Amino acid sequence: MSESSGLPTTVFHMLEKNIGRRVLAILDPSYGFEGTLLAVTHDPPGIWLTNADAVIMRATIAQPIPQVVAKENRSEIFINLKNVQRIEVLHKGK
């Protein structure tokens, strides 16, 4: 790994363990991308999502945790990790 990326190697290990799973990459409190993690790159530090959707999230006083309120199909997308605030691994419902 390149030392210039500035990200700890544990971030890449965590992401690589979750290849093939659905993830939600949050870029700011109201916007992100949801899709299947396809690949992790080290230089530039980023992730590739397939079957991706751009998502809009909203929080209210009654629901302070942001919830997805809208989705728009984006197919495949590369996201630079320097722009990501949080990544959530999504679990399948029962």
In the chain, what are the domain boundaries?
3-88
Distance CA 37, CA 34 (A): 9
Distance CA 15, CA 26 (A): 15
* Residue 21 parent element (H or E): none
Mean pLDDT of 3-8: 58
Nearest Cα neighbor of 49 from 9, 84, 8, 10 is 84
Mean pLDDT of 17-42: 93
> Does the pLDDT at position 2 exceed 60?
no
> Does the pLDDT at position 35 exceed 80?
yes
| pLDDT score, position 1 | 44
3-88: CATH number:
2.30.30.100
| pLDDT score, position 6 | 63
